Chains A and B, each alone.
Chain A
Amino acid sequence: MQEKSLGYRIGRVLIFLVLFILAVSFVYPILFMFINSLKTLKEYYYSPFTLPDLSNLQWSNFGNMISQFKILGLLKNSFIVSFFTVVGLIGLGTLASYAFAKIKFPGSRGLYLAFLVTLFVPAQVTMIPMYINFAKIGLVNNWLGVVIANWAMFLPETIMLMTANFKGIPDEIIEAATIDGCGFFGRLWNVVIPMGWPAISLTIIFFFINSWNDLFTPMIMLKSMDKRTVMVALNSLVGQFTGNPPYQFAGLVLAALPALLVYIFLQKSIVNGMSMGAIK
């Protein structure tokens, strides 16, 4: 084995240091939010940069978010919207992508391109007619309205991701399943979903986080306080607790936590999926 030169090793150490400093700069603002959510107001104004008094951590800030701001109900609303968004994406996406990837039919290429083109249409452009139409059929102030709007926003990327992945499933396996007596849905359930799982799981994770974090659609569509998602309600949070940053931070931390937890546990597949450059 060739001995590495001193210059090479110093270079590696320098690279490590630069990367480390960068990592700190990305984590610090989030840590800042968390640290200050555990302080009293007095501690915060004394210095937002010190650690909180460890013997007197203000977990009650979080308790207040639950009792005074009813944040658990808001988190539940967000969860309902994100959950049904993902369920529908998987259903609609798997069916359409299976057709695009595995069935030859006239117009398939044109349809596929038409699906992808809607990717470039900003949400704001289609929101006004959508809102007016949804209002007519009772989908405004209704979780289903947000869920359907989310399907429309996320389907192009979902189908792009799944179609690319399903193309890799060998035709022979699908045929073998047919010979074994699998009907259409049997083939989907027993072959396509297990073998396309990398794309499907990435869709679940990625669009759960996306719909959890979204503001624009739920803000326009959900009017009443008891229907709002947590991101929509943050405006009231900040308004209600002006002058009390630790309270605000506690609420922001709770709103960010579910998506962060998903990322912490599943970051490997997210980062790998992103590396394929498939989604933004």
Chain B
Amino acid sequence: MSKKGAFGALSPQELKKAKIAYLCVLPALLVLVLVRAYPIIVVFLKSFTNWDGLFANDFVGLDNYKLLFGSGMFWNLFRNNMYLLLSVPLQVIIGLIVAVLLYEHVPGWKAFRAIYYVPQIISLVILGYLFKTMFGLEGPLNQVLRSAGLENLAVDWLLNRETALPVMVFCVTWYSIGWQTIVILGGMSSIDTSVFEAARLDGANFWQRTFKIVLPMIVSIITYCVVMAVIWTFTSLFPLIYSMTDGGPGFETMTLDYFIYNKAFQRGNQLGYACSASVVLLIIVLIITAIEMRISDAAEEKWG
């Protein structure tokens, strides 16, 4: 049905209501279109130029993409992204285990739940600087190692690629467990308790209850958690990388999203090049989202 047809079918009173509704939505719509939607079009178009924000703004075809992929830069960044994704299974599995333990409702479980969420309340910049000190050459961790006689293990953890990425995976996992726990626990709480109680009365033990009842019922929430964590790892680690390593040494801990900042704002002003990286990042995130929708639809069908 055409727009005009849709409006034609409305009575005068409905039309008045619709006008009010549009006026209500308009301010938010304007903000989103101007600040979020329109820039996407600009980014896409500028990714084919040598734009520097000042003078250069010439069409260069696929040069930016050729540089990004041909120089091996993309693969380096992507490998780092993939490495950091190691945190996703860790945080989801630990979060799931903790949620299962909390679900037993031992005394104080609500307080524990609140405490696990505390890292999420503190800015990742603050935590990043804290971790940087903790893992620094003269930091507390190395003090412990030295006093334990493990002098040769006491390196500057964030200045070596072999150690910097694992340390970051550790930090991201530590930071994210609380979110995972609370969301998974929330999903578990929506399980019909009568099913659970019936199983308990039938003598199902802890393991049977967990694997036969709880897990199948929370497949969709787990999918949601995994996908949110993957997207989050691709898009939201900026403050942590900024404060811990600044993407260094070299480009060894730099991720795709950090690279956009690096090229556009930090060093030089290769805005066109940064736009091509933005397009690639956006495509990756959209692919992940599409996969999520597929999986959760399939899970809905299988387990309802």
Contact = CB atoms under 8 A, between A and B. Distances in A.
Interface in A80-98: 91-93, 95-96, 98
B28 interface: yes
Contacts of A277: 183, 186-187, 221, 224
Contacts of A23: 111-112, 115-116
Interface stretch (B73-81, B152-160, B273-281): B273-281
Interface string B99-138: 0011010111101111111110111111101101110001
Contact of B123 (A30, A213, A248): A213
A184 B236 CA distance: 39
A30 B31 contact: no
B238 A126 contact: no
A26 B113 CA distance: 11
A259 B114 contact: no
B25 interface: yes
Contacts of A98: 24
A129 B179 contact: no
B29 interface: yes
A238 B140 CA distance: 17
Contacts of A124: 235, 238, 257, 260-261, 278, 281
Contacts of B285: 120-122
B186 A275 contact: yes
A128 B39 contact: yes
Nearest to A274: B182
B98 A22 contact: yes
Instruction: Give the bracket for the number of chain B residues in contact with chain A.
Output: 35 or more
Interface stretch (A51-59, A62-70, A99-107, A193-201): A99-107
B116 to A, nearest CB: 6
A118 to B, nearest CB: 5
Interface of B: 3, 6-7, 10, 14, 17-18, 20-22, 24-25, 27-29, 31-32, 35-40, 42-43, 46, 53, 98, 101-102, 104, 106-109, 111-119, 121-127, 129-130, 132-134, 138, 140, 143, 174, 177-179, 182-183, 185-187, 189, 206, 221, 224, 228, 231-232, 234-236, 238-239, 242-243, 257, 260-261, 264-265, 271, 274-275, 278-279, 281-282, 285-286, 289
Interface of A: 11-12, 15-16, 18-20, 22-23, 25-27, 29-30, 32-33, 45, 47-49, 91-93, 95-96, 98-100, 103-108, 111, 115, 118, 120-133, 148-149, 151-153, 155-156, 159, 184, 209, 212-216, 220, 231, 234-235, 238, 245, 248-249, 252, 255-256, 259-260, 262-263, 267, 270-271, 274-277, 280
